[in-house]
Amino acid sequence: MSKAKDRPTIGIDGQALPVLPPDRDVRVWAKMVRVTVYTPGFLGILLLKAGDPGGFGLTVALLMLASASSIVAGLFVGSQSIGSGGDPASRTGVWCGSLVLELLAAVPILCAVPPMFNQLAHSALLHNVTQLGVTTTMFGAAELLPAVAILPFMLYQLSGFGTLHFVVSKPVNWGINLGILVLINASYFANRIGSSELETLFSGVLVSCMAIIVIYGVIKLRNMQAVYDTNCPVEARK
C-alpha cells in the first residue's frame, strides 16, 4: 500500500486503477481487536449474573459472535505486510480485518446491547421487586439510550470512514447500512414485545447478511489490490 494522495489513478493499460482504502495504522487496529475481544465477554458475564441465563440466549450468542469475530479480525490484521515478499492478500490484511470488525463485531454488539440493557433494567437481581414480581425501578424512554450508538456507527459508515465504502457503490452502501438499522430496530422491537421467534429471525438475517458481505468484501479487496499491483506504473511502486 502507498499513501492515497500519492497513488496513480491510471494504470499502464490505460484503464482506471481501483480506488483502494487509505493506509491504516496496524497498531490502532490491533488495539481495537483486543477491545472487541474482551468487551463482549465482560457484557456477557454481566448479563448472566443479572438473572436467569436461559432468557438471554440470543443476546449472549451475539456477544460471543462479536468476540470470536474479533479474533478472526486479529488474524487478518496480523497478516499485514507491505515489505518484501508481500502479496495482494498480505497487503490487504488491515482492510480485511477492519471489515470483519465493523460488520461482524460492531454490528452484533449494537444489536445485542439495547435488549441487554432492557433485561438488566428489569432484572430482579439488580432492583427491588414488589410482591407481584414487578420491578419498582422504571427507566422509561431512557432504556433507548444504548441504541443511540447506532447513529455514530451509521455516520462512520456513510461518511466514507468505513471499509465498506471502498468495496461497494454508494447506493449499495446506503442500502446495506439502512438495512442494518432496520433489522437492529426490528430485533429490539421483537424483544420488547416478547416475540423470541421474530427476534431470532431478524437477528439471524442480520448476521447472515453481514457474513455474506464480509466474504464478498475480503475477496473484492484482495482482487482490487491484485489489479492495482499488476497495472500500477513502475515508477509509482515502492
pLDDT digits (tens, 9 = 90+) for 119-164: 766 665 555 544 444 444 555 566 677 778 899 999 999 998 989 9
Radius of gyration of the chain (CA): 21
The residue with greater pLDDT, 71 or 192, is: 71
Res. 176: pLDDT tops 70? yes
With beta carbons less than 8 A apart as the criterion, state whether 237 and 22 touch: no
Annotate 48-57 with b (16+ C-beta within 10 A) or e (fewer). eebbeeeebe
With beta carbons less than 8 A apart as the criterion, state whether 43 and 24 touch: no
Q: What is the pLDDT of residue 38?
A: 76
Mean pLDDT of the chain: 80
For the record, the C-alpha cell of 112 comes out as 445485542
